[in-house]
């Protein structure tokens, strides 16, 4: 596993290798191991967006809305069938993950009047915890956070069962933990919450486009996620929300915008909600953003999630082998599970100097990963654009850099973003 020829052989047999050239790669010597944070840009996106600007917005002007008006639903359906295991009519591509999370969590707690507890975990992504704090404060609910802010940051069925009761309205977790990379058991945890009468909102931001989610099969009620990580749709690209058909007309979101109005262009008095997923749409979607999403998710659909997930498993296995051989002797330890069934596309390593190492990697090694407090370094394979050789080169540069203590040259960081 530690020979470069092993990585080269994996690339030679890789059924997804052809996708790398479909991405814009300006610097071939860069090892980009941060596709779990922001994916690379597909070349096609540049053409699609330019065509949209010139030949749709530029030419059709406001008449274009006749074609654009339902695009949040059609692009939502594409995300659903390519990456979520969701049949049509259950996914919308709109707004941001944070806004969608607020919308669906409010919808869930409002659908369980008389229950006053919301459950999440301490290791969950900050926006989720902050939004929940706000919802609980506004509605007088109690927020219970399962303490898993250590080790693999994994919430087991036993840990959830221990805090469930007939007073729980909502349970919400991330499919993959943003920091440790742990993958939760979506089907089992959802069933446990449902059996206790609670609704579950999943945040699949770190899972979408890299693990084969099966929302319809797994009985998922509600979920949100972004499109800019393994979705490769660009910084701030529209996010998505999923509401299972069975509960769509039983729940309502707090922001009642005009896109959810049954007779939208009647522009009449009083809100009358459209049935189905349109009832969850607030406002005019970003059509430029939707084109970025549809281009990138069409590539995911063509490549197929099973093949993408297989490459993520092999790529993270290669990373773990290189960590064991090269990085563990230099003071690193592995946080993420060694079992590929319990992780997605990124692994997390702990090192007391992780922040300096992450910066030194960019400055001296031309390797991009990222640092997460307090001492974590995240490294990812994004199966469509990343090659196995890119992973190997990145790890060998990290090894050389830390072995020669180049990171000691890094001073206090002035960068607000890590
Ligand atoms: C798990 C998770 N949830 C939510 C968000 C926030 O997404 P947004 O800024 O699109 O609201 C992120 C961002 O990285 C995330 O990783």
What is the mean pLDDT of the segment spanning 251-262?
97
Does 17 reside within a domain?
Answer: yes
Domain containing 362 equals 4-32+304-409
Q: Which tens digits make up the pLDDT trace of 271-318?
A: 999 999 999 999 999 999 999 999 999 999 999 999 999 999 999 999
The confidence score (pLDDT) of residue 51 equals 98
Average pLDDT over residues 155-178: 98
The pLDDT confidence band at residue 411, using thresholds 50, 70 and 90, is confident
**Choice among 14, 34, 121, 203 that is catalytic:** 203
414 within domain boundaries = no
**Mean of the pLDDT values across residues 232-247?**
98
Catalogue the E-assigned strands of 122-210. 142-146, 168-174, 199-203
* Tens digits of residue pLDDT in 314-358: 999 999 999 999 999 999 999 999 999 999 999 999 999 999 999
Check whether residue 222 and residue 329 sit in a common domain: no
Does residue 352 lie within any of the structural domains?
yes
Both 166 and 252 in one domain: the answer is yes
Mean pLDDT, the chain, rounded, equals 97
User: Are residues 54 and 18 part of one domain?
Assistant: no
pLDDT at residue 412, rounded to an integer: 74
Whether residue 415 is predicted with pLDDT greater than 90 in this model: the reply is no
- Whether residue 416 is contained in a domain is answered as no
Q: Which of 226, 233, 235, 293 to mutate to test the pocket of ligand 1 (most atoms within 8 A of CB)?
A: 226
* Residue 155 belongs to domain with CATH number: 3.40.640.10
Q: Which pair of tokens denotes residue 416?
A: 């607000």
pLDDT, residue 23, reads 98
Mean pLDDT, residues 89-97 taken together = 98
Give the domain-ending residue among 256, 272, 302: 302
pLDDT at position 329 is 98
In this structure, what token pair is assigned to residue 34?
């941060």
Distance 3 CA to ligand 1 centre (A): 36
Separation of CA 80 from chain center: 14
What local confidence, expressed as pLDDT, does residue 109 receive? 98
pLDDT average, residue stretch 23-41: 98
State whether 24 and 153 are in the same domain. Answer: no
Is the minimum distance from the CB of 172 to ligand 1 under 6 angstroms?
A: no
Distance CA 19, CA 21 (A): 5
154 is catalytic: no
Residue 385's CATH number: 3.90.1150.10
203 is catalytic: yes
Token code pair at residue 38: 């922001």
For the Cβ of 98 lying below 6 angstroms from any atom of ligand 1, the answer is yes
Contact 378, 36 (CB under 8 A): yes
User: Contact, 395 vs 1, CB < 8 A?
Assistant: no
In the chain, the percentage of residues whose pLDDT exceeds 70 is: 100
Tell me the C-alpha to C-alpha distance, in Å, between residue 106 and each of 103, 128, 182, 232, 364: 5, 12, 26, 29, 46
Domains contained in the chain, number: 2
Beta-carbon contacts of residue 137 (< 8 Å; ≥ 6 apart): none
Give pLDDT, residue 416. Answer: 79
Same domain, 157 and 270: yes
Residues 285, 257 within the same domain: yes
For residue 321, what pLDDT is reported? 98
Nearest to 194 by CA among 144, 154, 160, 158: 160
315 with 342, same domain?
yes
Q: Tell me, yes or no, whether 194 and 119 share the same domain.
A: yes
Instruction: Kindly give, in sequence order, each residue whose CB lies less than 8 Å from that of residue 90, ignoring residues fewer than 6 positions away.
Output: 80, 215, 216, 242, 243, 244, 245, 248, 277
Residue 378 Cβ inside 6 Å of ligand 1? The answer reads no
Say if residues 240 and 213 touch (Cβ distance below 8 Å): no
CB 203 less than 6 A from any atom of ligand 1: yes
Assess if residue 38 is contained within a domain.
no
Which candidate in 229, 278, 291, 406 is catalytic?
A: 229
- The pLDDT, as a whole number, for residue 71 is 98
181 and 319 share one domain: no
In the predicted structure, residue 1 carries a pLDDT above the cut 80: no
Is the residue at 28 inside a domain?
Answer: yes
Which residues lie across from 138 on neighbouring strands? Answer: none
- Residue where a domain terminates, one of 283, 302, 321: 302
Domain annotation covers residue 213: yes
Which candidate in 19, 23, 228, 230 is catalytic?
228
Q: What is the mean pLDDT of residues 200-209?
A: 98
Q: What residues contact residue 159 under an 8 Å CB cut-off, 6+ apart?
A: 146, 148
The reported pTM is 0.98
**Domain end call among 239, 269, 302:** 302
Instruction: Please say if 229 is a catalytic residue.
Output: yes
pLDDT at site 119? 98
The pLDDT, as a whole number, for residue 417 is 79
% of the chain surpassing 90 pLDDT:
97
| Residue 230 annotated among the catalytic residues of the structure | no
Per-residue pLDDT, 418: 76
The mean per-residue pLDDT over the stretch 130-142 comes to 98
Same domain? For 94 and 160 the reply is yes
């Amino acid at each position: 596993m530690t020979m470069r020829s092993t990585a080269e052989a994996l690339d030679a047999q890789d059924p997804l290798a052809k996708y790398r050239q479909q991405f814009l790669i300006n610097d071939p010597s860069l090892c980009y191991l941060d596709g779990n944070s922001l994916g690379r840009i597909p070349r096609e996106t540049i053409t699609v967006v330019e065509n949209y600007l010139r030949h749709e917005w530029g030419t059709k002007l406001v008449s274009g809305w006749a074609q654009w008006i339902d695009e949040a639903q059609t692009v939502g359906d594409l995300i659903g069938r390519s990456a979520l295991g969701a049949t049509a009519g259950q996914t919308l591509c709109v707004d941001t993950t944070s806004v969608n999370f607020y919308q669906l969590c409010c919808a869930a707690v409002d659908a369980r009047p008389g229950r006053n507890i919301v459950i999440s975990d301490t290791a969950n992504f900050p926006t989720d915890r902050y939004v929940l704090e706000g919802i609980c404060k506004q509605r007088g609910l109690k927020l219970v956070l399962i303490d898993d802010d250590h080790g693999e940051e994994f919430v087991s069925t036993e840990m959830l069962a221990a805090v469930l009761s007939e007073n729980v309205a909502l349970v919400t977790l991330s499919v993959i933990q943003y920091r440790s990379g742990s993958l939760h058991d979506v089907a089992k945890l959802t069933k446990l919450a449902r059996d206790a009468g609670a609704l579950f909102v999943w945040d699949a931001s770190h899972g979408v486009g890299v693990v084969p989610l099966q929302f319809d099969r797994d009985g998922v009620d509600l979920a949100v996620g972004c499109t800019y990580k393994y979705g490769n749709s660009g910084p701030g690209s529209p996010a998505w929300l999923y509401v299972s058909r069975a509960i769509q007309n039983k729940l309502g979101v707090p922001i009642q915008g005009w896109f959810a109005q049954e007779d939208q262009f009647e522009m009449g008095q009083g809100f009358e909600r459209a049935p189905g997923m349109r009832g969850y749409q607030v406002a005019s979607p970003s059509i430029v953003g939707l084109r970025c999403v549809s281009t990138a998710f069409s590539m995911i659909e063509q490549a197929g999630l099973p093949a993408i997930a297989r490459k993520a498993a092999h790529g993270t296995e290669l990373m773990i082998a290189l960590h064991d051989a090269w990085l563990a002797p230099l003071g690193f330890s592995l946080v993420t599970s060694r079992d590929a069934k319990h992780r997605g596309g990124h692994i997390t390593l702990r090192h007391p100097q992780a922040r300096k190492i992450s910066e030194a990697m960019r400055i001296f090694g031309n390797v991009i990963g990222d640092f997460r407090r307090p001492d974590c370094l995240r490294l990812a394979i994004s199966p469509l654009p990343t090659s196995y050789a890119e992973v190997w080169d990145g790890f060998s540069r990290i090894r050389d850099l830390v072995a020669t203590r180049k990171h000691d040259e890094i001073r206090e960081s002035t960068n607000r973003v890590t």
